[in-house]
Amino acid sequence: MKVVSHLISWLFLPLFMPVYGLLLAMYVPSEQDYFFNEESIYYLPQAAKLAILYMFFIFSILAPALSFLILHRRKIITTIDMENQRERNIPMFIMLAYCLVLYLLFVFKAQDGVLPKYIYALPLAGVLVTGSYTYINRWIKISLHAGGAGIFTGFLMAYASQQAEHQFWVLPAAVLLSAAIISARLFLGKHRPIEVYTGWGIATAITFLVNFYYPI
C-alpha cells in the first residue's frame, strides 16, 4: 500500500491535474448544449487543442516545477513536496502568479470568447484556489494534492453539466480518483483528515462555480 500511495501521489501531482482535466474534456466526446450556449471543447480543432495544452503545460507544470527546484536548491524549501507548512507561502504565491499569467494571456491573446469559456475559467479558478489556500495555510497545512483533485473534479462537473451530451463515466471516475488521492495522502501520514477534506471541498466548489458562471 505504501508503494501504491507514493505512486498515486506522484502520478497525480497538483500541477498535473488541470492538464488531465483538459485532456478528458478535449478527447472524451461531448455535444454542445444550445440552452447554455456553451461550446464543446471536444470539437476544437486539433491545432487549437495542442496550443492550449502547450500553454497549460508551460505555466501549470514546467514553470512551477522549475521554480520549486530553484527554491529547493537555494534551501528556501527543504523538500520538493513542501511538507513544512511554514515553507509553503512562497511556492503557493508562485503557483498563483503563473495561473494569473496564463489567465491574462488567454484573455488578451484570445479575446471576445474565441475559445470556450472553460479555457479562460480554469486558470482563473487556479488563482482563486491558490489564493484561498495561501490564506488558510496560516492555520492548517491544507492538502495541495486534494486541491489538485478538487480542481480536476470541479472543472469536469461544470463542463459536463453544461453539455447536452457527455460520457457518464467521467464524473464518477473523477470522484473515485479524488478518493484514491485523498486516501493515499492519509495513508502516508502527510495530512490530517481536515486538511484533505477541506482542500478537496474548497477547490471543487471554487472551480465548479468559476467554470459554471464564467461570463461568455
Q: What are the domain boundaries of the chain?
A: 2-213
Is the pLDDT assigned to residue 35 strictly greater than 70?
no
Calculate mean pLDDT across residues 160-189: 93
3-class SS shares of the chain: helix, strand, coil, % to 5: 70, 5, 25
Phi-psi region of 13 (alpha: psi -120 to 50; beta: other; left: phi over 0): beta
Determine the residue type at 99.
Answer: C
Q: In sequence order, what are the beta bridge partners of 191?
A: none
Cell 461568455: give the residue.
216
Is the pLDDT assigned to residue 37 strictly greater than 70?
no
Q: How far apart are the first and last CA of the chain?
A: 45
Tens-place pLDDT, residues 74-131: 888 887 777 777 888 899 999 999 999 999 999 998 876 789 999 999 999 999 999 9
Residue 37 cell numbers, joined: 450556449
Cβ 71 vs Cβ 123: under 8 Å:
no
Local structure of 37: helix, strand or coil: coil
Give, in order, the Cα–Cα distances in Å from 13 to each of 3, 44, 108, 132, 141: 15, 27, 29, 19, 16
Neighbours of 187 (CB within 10 A): 15
Q: Residues 166, 110, 100, 12: is their CA dihedral positive or negative? A: positive
DSSP, res 33: B
Task: Label residue 38 by pLDDT band (50, 70, 90).
Answer: low
Give, in order, the Cα–Cα distances in Å from 22 to each of 44, 68, 156, 195: 12, 24, 9, 26
Tens-place pLDDT, residues 131-145: 999 999 999 999 999
Which residue, among 200, 174, 144, has the nearest Cα to 15 in the 3D structure?
144
pLDDT value of residue 178: 98
pLDDT value of residue 31: 85
